[in-house]
Chains A and B, each alone.
Chain A
Amino acid sequence: MTAEPDGPEDRLRRFATIWSRAVFPVTSTSLTRPEFEEQLLPLARRLSEALRARNFEAAAGRTVGAALVAAHCTDPEALSRALDCVDAYLVLYCGEDGPGEALRTRSARLQHAMAAGYAEALRERTLAEQQAISQAALTARSAVAEALHDSEARFRAVFEGAAIGIGIADLDGNILQVNGALLRMFGGSEQSMRGRKVPEWTHPEDAPQVWRLYEELVRGKREHYHVEKAFYRPDGTALWTNLTVSLLRDADGEPQYQLALMEDTTERRLLNLRLRYEATHDALTGLPNRTLFFERLEKALAAGEGQRFGLCYLDLDGFKTINDSLGHAAGDRLLVEVADRLQSCATAPGEMVARLGGDEFVALTTGPNTEREVDELAGRIMNALVTPISIDGRDLTVRGSVGIVEGPAGERGAAEVLRSADITMYRAKAAGGNRFELADPEADARAITRNGLTTALPAALDRGEFFIEYQPLVNLGDGSVRGAEALVRWLHPQHGVLGPDRFIPLAEHTGLIVPLGRWVLEQSVRQARTWQERHSGTGPLRVNVNLSPCQLTHPGLVQDTVDILEREGLDAQALCLEVTESALIGADDDLLKPLRRLAEMGVDIALDDFGTGYSNLANLRRLPVSILKLDRSFTRGMQQFPADPVDLKIVEGIVSLAHSLGLAVTVEGVETGAQAEQLRILGCDTAQGWYYARPGPPERLHELALVDAVG
């Protein structure tokens, strides 16, 4: 719009410029001042028109006042400056020479209306904006509340849906909330759960530290703890749990709640207990087994100062016979009954009974007084077996052998103690059974040595640790040396020279007797051959070799003997095999057949230790025996003078019997000349003993024989 200089339009613009300059510094608008002035120009025009209008229009003033607010002149100072401006310049620039007084009055009235319109608009705008921002705050809050609600719902779902039991309590132990899983574990109502404080949830099996940890946690000294803990369910049964308790702190780090997470382990625990029970108990008798027994024994042996232990090791006598004759089912029932009886023998605290296997049982007692208690325990055990056991209508008398070991804790290991008990039990058994024996360190040592020798035997044969000594056999008639008995010795690297009584039974037991016997036979035959070569003039020197019962039954006996004789080139007549009387008691034809074969070949068979067994004299006739060797017990009575007349009569009888059967008689253990003379008078043929010579190296026999020859 072009404005004629100082025309009405130009004057209106000038008014707007003045107005905008006055107000602009106190507006908040982001417009520039010229832009702001453009905004004011229509307002100025409105005022100008209203000033000169025929009738006063308050609305014009009000509109302009409101428009100021819309142009962001919200600072009251803007109104003040606007009114000042109108008051001073409106009539001046827009009055167009109208009546001065009336115009000033009109201007004043317009200002009043502007003020009212401004106030009203500002009030409206303020209220609207307050409303808007409050609404925004509310909306934001409800969005947060909704999100919180969602999050809480998620938490609640987690809490409720969790398979693990969750409970929250305050630090005084008041239970505030529990989830469904926890209720199901306990099988109670939420009410019943919340009715009891946390410290009331005790159980006799609580580990000692459980409540100490709890106290530390609720006092804020511990953040969490993890224990295995049992609870009572409302029905009185036990609930076992893996329990984790955590301390919950507030935003400022102050302890506020305790959170318990628990997992029901009752079934797993039962299963474990069952597996553990099965692993530690004997299925047949239900007694603790070897595993559990060793655990207990080790515990007892590890006990402190002043603590002792007593152990009874029981093995039933003759159980194998019962098993073999009545069957395993009966044997099992017998074991069950024995187990029950034993169980009732060991009921005191610290006592236990276990089955080690087969018919072997152990009873253990522990404490400070086991020296007395173990004897009583053994007595009770023996007593418990007195009453016969009825199986299938049969009354079976059960006896047992018990080995007892007693001693202070902390000295020996479990294996050592059990071995001692085992050895002692065997001692009781060897002593006839149905008794108990007390462990004896020496007996143990012997048994242990025996065991050591047994295991060393095979290697000893390979290493050539055996050697043979010969004890001369002397003709009682003329005193000449007729031969010698070969006696095997073991030169043990640690124990020195051991006699056959120390290792032959062991060799018999392990079967090593067969190769060992063959070696002895070989050596002896070779030696006899050597003697023959040297003493061709004095008649053959014979060699006596002992045969063990084991060798007797060995199928290679005859062939081995023949092979050896042929290989060494010795006549069968120069060999005498000695067999103990006990080995032939009750011998049948099968057993005697190899001996007969050997006798037919010309080998002499001597019946050794004659008179110690209960020989059936009538039986002598059918044995392929040519010599009786009288046991040394008969000759012992002749060592003194005068000789025991009963012994004399017996020997005389035996000699007479032997001779009438065509058997020669050899006596052992001749130690004095009187003895020798006596035996000669009684008609004995050959003698052997220290009176003539102790067993010695083969050269020694050679010397003796030479003496004979010269003599």
Chain B
Amino acid sequence: MERPAWAPRSIDISVPSVSRIYDYYLGGSHNFEVDREAARKAMEFMPGLPKVMQANRAFMRRAVRFAAGEGVDQFLDIGSGIPTFGNVHEIAQSTRPGARVVYVDHDPVAVAHSQAVLRDNEDADVVAADLLKPREILASPQVQRLIDLNRPVALLLVAILHFVEDADDPYGAVAELRDALAPGSMLVVTHAAFEGIPLSREQAEGAVDVYKNIRNPLIMRTREEIARFFEGYDMVEPGLVPMPNWRPDTAPEDEDPYSFSAFGGVGRTA
């Protein structure tokens, strides 16, 4: 018998989770052995993976600070994963006290952990939902409570779009979210690409295969394909670039070569 739509997915921690793997790369212990095993396997092909994650975090930190600096005080972070350190609400609220943040993830463990972390934070909350169902996200009580869709919102799709296959129409979901946001809203995206990986294509694909094997295939897209997510947005300088090149605080030459393995960019609606 098929599981009815309203019956929840069961939790199987014997299956690796991308958000816990991510945590492991960041030196965290919010993970289980299955996650670490998968992470180590991927690192056999791409030993610098933790550096990619770190660069991703650093990019996000700069982007959030930028958005906050531009006056945006509402953040919708879809695919937020396991909160570790340097989370969006910490960055945003340190720049703009009172900034509001709603995290969204479909991993129930990540959501449960986020709830624990955010328990005492009035201005941040988490929604268990799927990027592919924007209406569920926007209609959630958390979004309704914390975010005023008539004012600009920074929408963060950081290291999530490369987990959505074209067949599931990520472009449609992103466009639907865009259409729900007020003018002046921002889109923050990072996305893995073969272009910047300092390894042979074969070796990089070995790491990609690891994700395929844990049923969370990593969809590598070209810069052009990634740029299409920004349809309807004006790109903020310097546009869609390898992550360390986006408004760096320090000389990009000093960055680890793996940091360039993904593109990052910020767009703003007119």
Which A residues fall within an 8 A CB radius of B? Answer: 25, 27-35, 72, 74-75, 125-126, 129-130, 132-133, 135-137, 139-141, 143-144, 147-148, 151, 248-249
Contact = CB atoms under 8 A, between A and B. Distances in A.
Contacts of B43: none
Contact of A130 (B8, B29, B256): B29
Interface in B12-63: 13, 20, 25-32, 50, 53-54, 57-58, 60-61
B7 A139 contact: no
Most buried by B among A31, A34, A126: A31
B13 A139 contact: no
A133 B50 contact: no
B11 A141 contact: yes
A27 B26 CA distance: 9
6 contacts: A25-B256, A29-B54, A32-B249, A130-B30, A140-B111, A147-B7
Contacts of A136: 30, 109-110, 112-113, 116
Given A33-B250, A143-B108, A144-B11, A135 B116 contact: yes
A35 B6 CA distance: 47
A34 B251 CA distance: 11
B250 A137 contact: no
A146 to B, nearest CB: 9
Given A30-B86, A137-B109, A151 B30 contact: no
Contacts of B11: 137, 140-141, 144
Give the size range of B's interface with the partner.
35 or more
Given A33-B250, A147-B8, A151-B4, A28 B82 contact: no
A130 B23 CA distance: 12
Most buried by B among A34, A135, A144: A144
Interface of B: 1, 4, 6-11, 13, 20, 25-32, 50, 53-54, 57-58, 60-61, 82, 85-86, 108-113, 115-116, 249-250, 254, 256
Nearest to A138: B112
A28 B116 contact: no
Contacts, number: 95
A72 B108 contact: no
The majority secondary structure among interface residues of chain A is: helix
Given A34-B249, A133-B30, 14 more contacts: A25-B256, A29-B54, A30-B61, A33-B250, A74-B28, A132-B113, A132-B116, A133-B31, A133-B82, A133-B113, A140-B109, A140-B112, A148-B7, A151-B4
Contacts of B29: 125-126, 129-130, 133
Given A28-B54, A148-B8, A143 B27 contact: no
A72 B26 CA distance: 9
B30 to A, nearest CB: 4
A33 B112 contact: no
B246 to A, nearest CB: 13
A132 B109 CA distance: 10
A75 B54 contact: no
Contacts of A74: 27-28
B8 A144 contact: yes
Most buried by A among B4, B20, B109: B109
A441 B250 CA distance: 121
Contacts of B116: 132, 135-136, 139
B250 A32 contact: yes
B3 to A, nearest CB: 9
Contacts of A126: 29
B232 to A, nearest CB: 29
Nearest to B82: A133
Nearest to B256: A25
A441 B2 CA distance: 71
B85 to A, nearest CB: 6
A143 B54 contact: no
Most buried by A among B26, B113, B116, B254: B113
Given A30-B61, A32-B58, A34-B250, A139 B112 contact: yes
A72 B57 CA distance: 13
A185 B117 CA distance: 55
A129 B30 contact: yes
What are the 10 tightest A-B residue pairs by CB atom distance, in nearest-first order? A136-B113, A129-B29, A140-B108, A74-B27, A30-B57, A28-B27, A136-B112, A139-B112, A133-B30, A140-B112
Contacts of B108: 140-141, 143-144
Contacts of A135: 112-113, 116
A144 B9 contact: yes
A28 B50 contact: yes
B234 to A, nearest CB: 27
A260 B77 CA distance: 48
A129 B28 contact: yes
A72 B27 contact: yes
A215 B85 CA distance: 62
A129 B82 CA distance: 11
A35 B65 CA distance: 15
Contacts of A31: 58, 86
B243 to A, nearest CB: 12
A28 B26 contact: yes
Contacts of B61: 30
A136 B17 CA distance: 13
A166 B115 CA distance: 41
Contacts of B53: 28
B92 to A, nearest CB: 14
A133 B7 contact: no
Contact of B1 (A143, A147, A248): A248
B65 to A, nearest CB: 11
